[in-house]
Chain A
Amino acid sequence: MTLELKNIVKRVGADTHIHETNLKLVGEGFNILLGTTLSGKTTLMQLMAGIDKPTSGEIWFGGANVTGGKVQDRNVSMVYQQFINYPNMTVYENIASPLRVARLPAGEIDKRVQGTADLLKLTPMLQRRPSELSGGQQQRTAIARALVKDADLVLLDEPLANLDYKLREELREELPKLFAGRECTVVYATTEPTEALLLGGHTALLHEGRVVQFGPTSQIYRQPETLIAAQVFSDPPINTASVTKTGGRIALSETVQWDAVGSFAALSDGTYTIGIRPHDIGPEAKNGQCVAIDGEVLVTELSGSESVVHFGVAGSTWVSQSHGVYSFKVGEGTRLYADISRAMLFDADQRLVARQGEAV
């Protein structure tokens, strides 16, 4: 079953929360909604679930128009960022509640609750109340409740955001396994590009209430259609600067210039915006296509085996992210190498015109 949004618009008062959106989700694997806070992820999910109605447009699910239908009549389940469970019920009753509302026979309910609890490692906690559980267990209960009813559409709204690091990794690994082999459309909202890449599937990039791009996650990462798509799907933020192409040369500044090769060479002369992901800039030249950039170190972050340096170059702040431990001193000049072969060029309309030396 697939979910399709046709010309969906959502306005609240004078504000437009979702601009006209067309989106056809895929029925297997994760559909990831990636965007910053307030980009419209939750609104879009509420529209998909039927909790909220679109101002205009239609929602089709499994070949039927479900626009404006009651959420109770849809076979949907949802998990929120906050750990939402019914505080007055035990974990068992929490998981059983959608089945009880659907009036399933008691034996069937018990079988399914036990099975789901087992899957989510909740069996020892079944008789406890949600307030007696740890955060991770509370969220597991919420996920169990979403799984137990075999919903056609499962909406996960930043389900891991409130968990601490270890639990987040653990659950992130489990999630795709839990949904594998189930016939349902899974939508997963997140603010973290890394999470989208780890979960794979398809990704819709959201920016200020618009779907900027939708497609297989890795493809979107490698080939963002626009500068905004590249910015949304990059953490730390992608480095951008204005470059000028004259003849066979591309110039970032008077001192930083290089020969245009590959598809870059085919571009007409003019001004472009260059985008280089932070991990394509490092203190060592990786290959012959690297360009040396001198800048002033502004901030350094050292996270175990990774060095992140913010440095000032040509009037803007760039970020370099590299494996290995490098010592930089704040305030000092440094020389970093940008791998130009992995850079992207965007035209004046912010559309991608050339990437990694290939034409697009």
Chain B
Amino acid sequence: MQRIKWMVPTVYIAFLMLPIYWLLNMSFKTTNEILGTFSLWPLEFTVQNYVTIFTDPTWYMGYVNSLIYVTINTVISVAAALPAAYAFSRYKFVGDKHLFFWLLTNRMAPAAVFALPFFQLYSAIGLFDTYIAVALAHTLFNIPLAVWILEGFMSGVPKELDETAYVDGYPFWRFFIKIFLPTIAAGIGVAAFFCFMFSWVELLLAKTLTAVEAKPIAATMTRTASTSGYELGLLAAAGSLTIVPGAFVIYFVRNYIAKGFALGRV
């Protein structure tokens, strides 16, 4: 009995980790070994795949591009969501509940639906293949999410805090920036994290709206063949590196995320 208790999570975690292990395993192999033999660990251990990625601009610029538009998107989404969430949490206005729900419905359509209109629109106004194009396209999904998350955190702050600040003489904006934002810092962290994640993993829009200049890593990574034939080792190394930023961010916000879940908003 004791053994089964111990076994279940172990097996579960092993299954979870298997694809990641296989990715790492592949990334340290040569393409020939990947295609030719079945081996549980690299027989001809090589870091050449990683060297290629860090030296070839067509590879490493993918990461740079992705990080740039993801950052722009996170900043825009959170900045736009903060005043909106404040309004939803503090004021009553006609249709506020409907509007709040309607925001979420923006997330219900698949990204593919918006690929065509965005592509046509951005091409027409010269935004195609720019960072801001992808960043703006992603706000369609991220602003509603950020508003929902932030509203939850803001409603957790008693409105008496606002009133106390006004009574103390704070003008609205000074209160908002100096007192309110630090008070909901955890919520901003959680919202920013989710914006980052969605923008980081979103492939379709990012791929459709870029060509060369702003091409994201996910687009570079998912081409299966190139002029030099199959480069599976290289792709695996790129994939392994793509996990890193997400893992890094999640490590820093893990405590806040737990708080967000407790509020029922994540």
Contacts and interface: CB of A to CB of B under 8 A. Distances in A.
B95 interface: no
Interface string A145-166: 1000100000000000000000
B183 A88 contact: yes
B244 interface: no
Nearest to B179: A86
Given A101-B174, A145-B168, A78 B161 contact: no
A87 B174 contact: no
Interface in B100-147: none
A84 B166 CA distance: 13
Interface string B173-209: 0100001001101000000000000000000000000
Nearest to B185: A88
Contact of B168 (A46, A77, A80, A82): A77
B170 interface: yes
Contacts of A77: 167-168
B160 A80 contact: yes
Chain A interface extent, by class = 20 to 34
A101 B170 contact: yes
A189 interface: no
Nearest to B168: A98
B171 to A, nearest CB: 6
Contacts of B167: 49, 51, 71, 76-78
A97 interface: yes
Contacts of B171: 72
Contact of A82 (B158, B166, B170): B158
Residue among B158, B161, B169, B182 with the most chain A CB within 10 A?
B169
A102 B170 CA distance: 9
A72 B163 contact: no
Interface in B21-45: none
Contact of A84 (B164, B169, B182, B185): B164
Nearest to A70: B166
Interface in A31-58: 46, 49, 51
B162 to A, nearest CB: 9
Contacts of B158: 80, 82, 84
Nearest to A97: B168
Contacts of A82: 158, 160
B156 to A, nearest CB: 11
B160 A72 contact: no
B164 A78 contact: yes
Contacts of B161: 84, 86
Contacts of B185: 88
A142 B167 CA distance: 12
Chain B interface extent, by class = 10 to 19
Given A84-B158, A84-B160, A98 B183 contact: no
Contacts of B182: 87-88
Residue among B160, B165, B170 with the most chain A CB within 10 A?
B160
Contacts of B165: 86
Interface in A78-94: 78, 80, 82, 84, 86-89
Contacts of A49: 163, 167
B163 A51 contact: yes
Nearest to B157: A87
A23 B186 CA distance: 44
Given A88-B179, A88-B183, A101-B174, A149 B160 contact: no
A49 B167 CA distance: 8
Contacts of A102: 169
Contacts of B160: 80, 82, 84
B169 A87 contact: no
A145 B179 CA distance: 15
B253 to A, nearest CB: 18
Contact of A86 (B169, B174, B183): B183
Contacts of B174: 101
A88 B179 CA distance: 7
Contacts of A142: 164
Contacts of B164: 78, 80, 84, 142, 145
Given A72-B170, A101-B169, A78 B179 contact: no
Contacts of A98: 168-169
Nearest to A46: B163
B168 A101 contact: yes
A55 B165 CA distance: 24
A42 to B, nearest CB: 10
Nearest to A87: B183
Contacts of A80: 158, 160, 163-164
A212 B53 CA distance: 80
A149 B168 contact: yes
Contacts of B166: 51, 71-72
A49 B164 CA distance: 11
Contacts of B163: 46, 49, 51, 71, 78, 80
Nearest to B169: A101
Nearest to A76: B167
A76 B165 CA distance: 11
Interface of A: 46, 49, 51, 71-72, 76-78, 80, 82, 84, 86-89, 97-98, 101-102, 142, 145, 149
30 contacts: A46-B163, A49-B167, A51-B163, A51-B166, A71-B166, A72-B166, A72-B169, A72-B171, A76-B167, A78-B163, A78-B164, A78-B167, A80-B160, A82-B158, A84-B158, A84-B164, A86-B165, A86-B179, A86-B183, A87-B182, A97-B168, A97-B170, A101-B169, A101-B170, A102-B169, A142-B164, A145-B164, A145-B168, A149-B168, A149-B169
Q: 6 nearest interchain CB pairs? A: A88-B182, A101-B169, A98-B168, A80-B160, A71-B166, A78-B167
